[in-house]
Amino acid sequence: MSRSKKRSVKFIFNRRIKYYTKETIKWVKLIAIALLIIMAMIFVKYKMAYQVTLNGEQIGYIANQKDLENTIQKMLNHKEENVAFVDIEVLPKYQLMLVNHDTTFNEEEVVAKVKETSKVTYKLYAVTLDGEEKSIVNSLEEAEQVVTDMKEKYEEKVQFTIGIHEVYTETPENYETVSIKVAETEVSEKLQAIEDASVNGVYLAQKPISGIITSRFGSRESIRSYAHTGLDIAAPYGTDIKAAATGTVKWAGDKGSYGNLVIVDCGNGVEIYYGHCSKLYVTKGQTVTAGDVIAAVGSTGHSTGNHLHFEIRVNGSQVNPQNYIYH
């Protein structure tokens, strides 16, 4: 092809590109104008809104989701007298949508509906005796007076503490003040119970596990050549073992026929053995409180099945645990 013909083809091609480009721009402009007209028509008749549902039920429309969430948060943080906290079990759900322009936003009604599902926890003061609530009063001053009155009558070994007692109710109107007076007979009975469950002054406040006693202290059986030194209590593999009394972990590891063993030194010469464990959750030197989970039931060491070997020693000598616990 000659040079002149090439120039002619190129010229025609460029003219066509310019033509189609102009046509495309024209159509794009027309489409954009049409879309703007359609959107303007839509927004004359409709508006954007958030549809609010609670437990699957539509409860209204709002203009701004963030504003409603802030209002709900303020409601949750609001602290009236004796209120510990406000809890909402089911939060509202939101869906952005177009609604008729005359649709009314009803944020106040939505907030009221949400508030109806809330639970209020009222803060009262509880006086406890060794972990058991004996009096529930409205103020810290009242609680302190109860403790003062009781300490004047009983030995120092009776430990009263003051804590928070929480009462759940749906609305403040349903709440009634609870006031339980400490009866002297209850305290006396508690004193006796503490005395009965104490080994050399150490209070066994917690049963390590619930289960069936399969071998008692002092029994002689074919599986051993000596009298049994503790209690065997059968329970499923992995059952939590709780500390019977407060103390310091003296041993946590494998110990021959005991298998995985925890020894807790409770003071006054009292040591408690927890044997045949599958898992140990404490370490040597750790302080534990009665009721703390320290190990799990297993069948390690010389054992024929999943159980806890529970043994108490006073100044190195084994004593019968059933004199104090598992009566």
The CATH number, out of the four listed (3.40.50.300, 2.70.70.10, 1.20.1290.10, 3.90.1150.10), of the domain defined by the range 202-323 = 2.70.70.10
User: How many Cβ atoms sit within 10 Å of the Cβ of residue 8?
Assistant: 12
Crossing angle of helices 107-116 and 65-77, in 10° steps, is 40
In this structure, the number of other CB atoms found within 10 A of the CB of residue 188 comes to 13
Q: Is pTM, for the whole model, over 0.85?
A: no
If you compute the radius of gyration of the chain from its CA atoms, what whole number of angstroms results?
38
Q: How many CB atoms lie within 10 A of CB 48?
A: 10
Q: What is the largest CA-CA distance in the chain?
A: 125
For 128, the 3-state DSSP assignment is strand
Strands of 138-215, DSSP E: 160-169, 198-199, 202-203, 212-215
pLDDT in tens, the chain (327 residues): 455 544 554 445 455 555 556 667 667 677 777 677 666 665 667 788 899 898 888 888 988 888 888 888 877 776 565 666 677 777 889 998 888 878 888 888 888 888 877 777 666 677 776 666 666 666 667 777 777 776 666 555 556 665 555 554 544 444 344 443 444 455 556 666 777 888 998 989 899 999 999 999 988 876 666 889 999 999 999 999 999 999 999 999 999 999 999 999 999 999 999 999 999 999 999 999 999 999 999 999 999 899 999 999 999 999 999 999 998
Residues 120, 86 contacting (CB under 8 angstroms): yes
User: Is 130 in a helix, a strand, or coil?
Assistant: coil
- DSSP conformational letter for 316: T
Break the chain into its structural domains and give their ranges.
Answer: 1-116, 122-196, 202-323
Is beta strand 93-100 parallel, antiparallel or unpaired with respect to 231-234? unpaired
* C-alpha separations of 119 from 82, 113, 125, 318 in Å: 14, 13, 19, 52
Strands (E), 152-223: 160-169, 198-199, 202-203, 212-215
Do residues 270 and 324 touch, judged by C-beta distance below 8 A?
Answer: no
Phi first, then psi, for residue 180 (nearest 5°) are -115, 120
